[in-house]
Amino acid sequence: MSELKDRPVGVVGAGRVGTALAVAMVRAGYRLIGISARSPESRKRASLRLPQVPQQDALALAGRSQILFLTVSDDAVEPVATHLAENGGIAPGQYVVHTSGVLGLDALGAARRCGAVPLAIHPAMTFPGAESDADRLSGLAFAITTPAAARPIAERLVD
């Protein structure tokens, strides 16, 4: 297994959770190649907190990411994963991660059918959207749901 930090990481969803996780990943040395935001508020948040990270179209970003976080709203996880899978944004061996606390791996079924490895990693915290959200992730409890073989990957991402 190659070093996770060397793999290109993309974040689809620059809301409060996605932006905080992206900031924390950059600080931890991950190679964040882009973030995708739809709303003006999310685009602004990403620009302010991650000025060095390009904002990109979700499909293009997904296609370039070996680790793809879907940090969209709970009701959007499955439709976004399906859209990306049906349009060539998901590849075999790619790690596709959602952060919903209410959804299991079934929400990533379309990604799994493309050969991706589904992961659910949910931080046990409320994200108010503050600049300090990323700081609060250190030492935080996370719920993890993965296929058994992928558990070490999920644990390393949380660490």
Res 135: pLDDT: 84
Per-residue pLDDT reduced to its tens digit, 80-135: 999 999 999 999 999 999 999 999 999 999 999 999 999 999 998 888 788 888 88
Q: pLDDT digit string (tens) for 31-51? A: 999 999 999 999 999 999 999
- Provide CB contacts within 8 A for 115, sequence distance 6+: 90, 91, 92, 93, 94
The model's pLDDT over 18-33, given as tens digits with 9 standing for 90+, comes to 999 999 999 999 999 9
Report how far residue 39's alpha carbon sits from residue 118's, in angstroms, rounded to the nearest whole number.
26
Supply the DSSP string of the chain, one letter for each residue: ---GGGSEEEEE--SHHHHHHHHHHHHTT-EEEEEE--SHHHHHHHHHH-TTSPB--HHHHHHH-SEEEE-S-HHHHHHHHHHHHHTT---TT-EEEE--SS--GGGGHHHHHTT-EEEEEEESS-----GGGTGGGTT--EEEE--GGGHHHHHHHH-
Give, rounded to a whole angstrom, the gap between the first and last alpha carbons of the chain: 16
What's the confidence (pLDDT) of residue 139?
84
Give the separation between CA 95 and CA 46, rounded to whole angstroms: 22
Q: For residue range 130-157, list pLDDT tens digits in order.
A: 888 888 888 888 999 999 999 999 999 9
Contact 38, 15 (CB under 8 A): no
Bigger pLDDT: 121 vs 159: 121
Instruction: State the pLDDT at residue 124.
Output: 87
pLDDT for 2: 53
Cα separation, 11 vs 90, whole angstroms: 13
pLDDT at 1: 44
The pTM (predicted TM-score) of the whole model is 0.94
Residue 116's pLDDT is 98
